[in-house]
Structure 1
């Protein structure tokens, strides 16, 4: 699949992307909202430059990118003539769980424990109480994902044969712009280079270890198959996004709206998630902090992903990603 022409692909004067010609290598690009791309290898005079390299020098690169975006002189290529890849190959991926209040309540109801015969209203009230307590105690939930699960925003997603309940989870992804360790919440925005779209696919059947419940969740198995994290298409600089805590997150499945919620429903806001992750880990430029997914996943609708499904995800100001599901072994 390819990006479709649009009057404005994203918010702001420019975004970062990783592109390629049909037969050429990937290269970092500056993309303008009208869909024109400029090869940043030429701008920085480095044939081996990657988008991660640009993020590694973000504080000095950003002013230069602003100037290049405003200069109509350099030759540019239409994005529709190029292949769009995941915008960055991060070193680390941090994923936030249980961060949208309504989503977690719906999951709590859908994942009925064996032998739990309580009515739905009682279980929903229990989940709401848990969410309110987590917010009051200021305890986000963050775990790590694998960069190898990332794929492009228009690539096919292979559903493994073993995945019995593959599900979608559209999320706002934070892209780190400089190394961060033990950062206070009020300082966290300084460490954010920009934002992009992630679809954090999950096989619901393997989230919990049935062989030994005491082990808990199995995120390796349930979330990290190759291609289970479609990413992009663009990294939009944080200066172009007025309020990341009030963006519309929307996913359509075969043209039918499944998720449609504001990031305002997040229990822990963007700055808090970045700060929390940095209290333990050292965040590096290009790293991703996924901020959780809103209500409307497949478990809620009783309809999981299958061969031929097309997911289209949008977040305010960040563009559109469109991926098709293909069963493992299918042509």
Structure 2
């Protein structure tokens, strides 16, 4: 089942995506379900009521009648992993090639992002005023369906509601003060702050429930910019697989329905070849069995506020 969040007649709603349109859940059933997150929280009982709708004759909305939002518009937690593909680490020189596989697999590198970074398919991404180098990163994103605390990798599949696509955009040249004297950890925090801009984590186009993706570790990923392939890989190349990621994070914090976990990007980012995005670029992220997430990068601001910290 594909679950979408969208704007219809100026109201945010949720629906089931079918080949011939979208079933608007609030009007198709008398069961009180008004958001994808609500569906996840109610769990099995909600899915039981919804599973027959795609085969019914309930009315559909045409795709041109709606505007897609992120499947979970404001996730309680937005988590992501850095460096979860070995070739990406090598191309960005984050890690020495001489490290053996065991050393690379010590533990994941997770970080948090603000919920305001989430935006839907079709949205134009505003260019942040503190960077002039913007980069792309296609990622498989996991959506949590049940509370998870200290679960094992074997238990993790039962906590996953489904999957969507993420484009973890990065501002690579973050600078807040001209002539700054760099401190030892400035580079790390510049990288981290480069992930936090509004609308810098497009998600979508919808959530595909886990039963339709029985093996998330064999999915082709392709990212194009204006039709040109920039990233192409398979999720079987992850250092830490989906279930180990969920397990690890659940030992750090309680994962809750609607939390989103981005599982890392493969090689091919612009940073590796000093080839960054430009205003007006169309970025298409495609993952097998899910769909295509498409967004356009907006214009650069007239002025950059590099010196706003005095």
Unaligned 5+ residue runs, structure 1?
1-13, 112-123
What is the CA-CA distance between 1:255 and the residue it aligns to?
0.9
What is the CA-CA distance between 1:81 and the residue it aligns to?
2.5
CA deviations 1:86-105 (Å, max 9, x no partner) are 11121111111110111111
What is the CA-CA distance between 1:127 and the residue it aligns to?
3.2
Work out the CA distance in 1 between the residues paired with 2:184 and 2:29: 52
Say which of 283, 298, 322 aligns to 2:270. 298
Residue aligning to 2:43: 58
Residue aligning to 1:275: 247
Structure 1 or 2: larger helix share? 1
DSSP-derived class of the 2:204 partner: coil
Per the normalisation by structure 2, the TM-score is 0.89
DSSP-derived class of the 2:54 partner: helix
Work out the CA distance in 2 between the residues paired with 1:176 and 1:235: 11
Unaligned 5+ residue runs, structure 2?
303-310
1:165 aligns with 2:144: no
Residue aligning to 1:142: 110
| Structure 1 residues 213-232: aligned runs within 5 Å | 213-214=184-185, 217-218=188-189, 220-232=192-204
Work out the CA distance in 1 between the residues paired with 2:135 and 2:148: 32
Spell out structure 1 runs of 4+ moving beyond 6 A: none
1:15 aligns with 2:30: no
| Structure 1 residues 217-296: aligned runs within 5 Å | 217-218=188-189, 220-296=192-268
Are the equivalent residues in 1 in contact too, given 2:20–2:60 (CA < 8 A)?
no
Say which of 68, 76, 86 aligns to 1:84. 68
What is the CA-CA distance between 1:211 and the residue it aligns to?
2.5
CA deviations 1:21-80 (Å, max 9, x no partner) are 2x4201011111x1411111124536772221111112222222222223x221111223
Residue aligning to 1:211: 182
Alpha-carbon RMSD: 2.1
